[in-house]
Structure 1
């Protein structure tokens, strides 16, 4: 396997970030309370909580996590849009969730979907909190929407992935 110097440097920096980040995360099992209106509640098999049983995030807290952006079309919108948000894997990692855990995602209207562990990659899906550089409202499928980079690969353009792309997300439950 050939690894270019730039790739090696990026991988080394990522490993350092993860070892420092995971070490400091393990020391703290308490998430600070949201300072703005809560947008997302996570419960279940998590190590880091806001109140001992669940983690509650507002928009600034979500923005403080690693971010991912991509442009893609969707079957629900016209044209290509840029989505920005936190990768689901990064959010789960920040809460000390096991790599093999699955997630139940639930919307404001109680619509729920299961996202198995094998569908949660490092960069996809994201929990989008911006579309085309701006926050989006409930009317626009927000304020949070699980989005895959559909235009990147055929593997994202399946009925299963479309079904997992829940909008108006407000709750996640982590299962072992």
Structure 2
């Protein structure tokens, strides 16, 4: 009997990481859909995230000057790499799209090299659509001033609602 119990314990230990990677279905309004080369899905072949799911991911805060706001603004939200990890992304680029269909291609390496966030708040206030929300790609411009250039600025998509992993 103890031999079977040992087998069950080992089998459960092997299965636990797979279960931990499962993505729960969103319970609230979906703010972000991640599609394309993703392994962890919860609606068809896509990963849908509501506000609570995004807030449960690794969060980051950056205080930075941007061309879109006056002065230094404190942005907060999940790290881009945390969102990609949660979806099991396996690509080299992501196509980030906004509510108005604007889109930009961002190398996944940006998310690995820098603490790029999908800002959900600015100065402690939830980003509404009229405030560039619900999600805004924010690079750490103040800690990496070399990022404040046209190539990166076009990647700073606001009103983000979709990421396609390519």
TM-score class normalised by the smaller sequence: 0.7 to 0.9
CA distance in 1, matches of 2:61, 2:43: 31
**1:145-164 matched pairs, under 5 angstroms:** 145-164=136-155
Structure possessing the higher radius of gyration over alpha carbons: 2
Equivalent residue number for residue 105 of structure 2: 114
Measured after TM superposition, the shift of residue 24 of structure 1 is 5.2
TM-score (norm 1): 0.80
Q: How many residues are paired up? A: 152
Measured after TM superposition, the shift of residue 28 of structure 1 is 5.1
What root-mean-square deviation, in Å, do the aligned CA atoms of Structure 1 and Structure 2 show? 1.7
Per-residue CA distance 1:54-98 (angstroms, 9 max, x = gap): 011111100000000010010011110100011111111112223
Measured after TM superposition, the shift of residue 124 of structure 1 is 2.2
CA distance in 1, matches of 2:123, 2:133: 13
Unmatched segments (≥5 aa) in structure 1 = 1-22
CA distance in 2, matches of 1:170, 1:24: 31
Equivalent residue number for residue 54 of structure 1: 46
Per-residue CA distance 1:98-138 (angstroms, 9 max, x = gap): 3x521000000000000012222265210000111120111
CA contact (8 A) 2:60 2:117 kept: yes
Equivalent residue number for residue 91 of structure 1: 83
Please point out which of 92, 99, 103 is paired with 1:101: 92
Is residue 160 of structure 2 the alignment partner of residue 165 of structure 1?
A: no
Of the structure 1 ranges 133-142 and 26-35, higher mean CA displacement relative to structure 2 is found in 26-35
CA distance in 2, matches of 1:142, 1:163: 16
Unmatched segments (≥5 aa) in structure 2 = 1-14
Please point out which of 114, 135, 150 is paired with 1:144: 135
Measured after TM superposition, the shift of residue 166 of structure 1 is 0.2
CA distance in 1, matches of 2:86, 2:113: 13
CA contact (8 A) 2:37 2:165 kept: yes
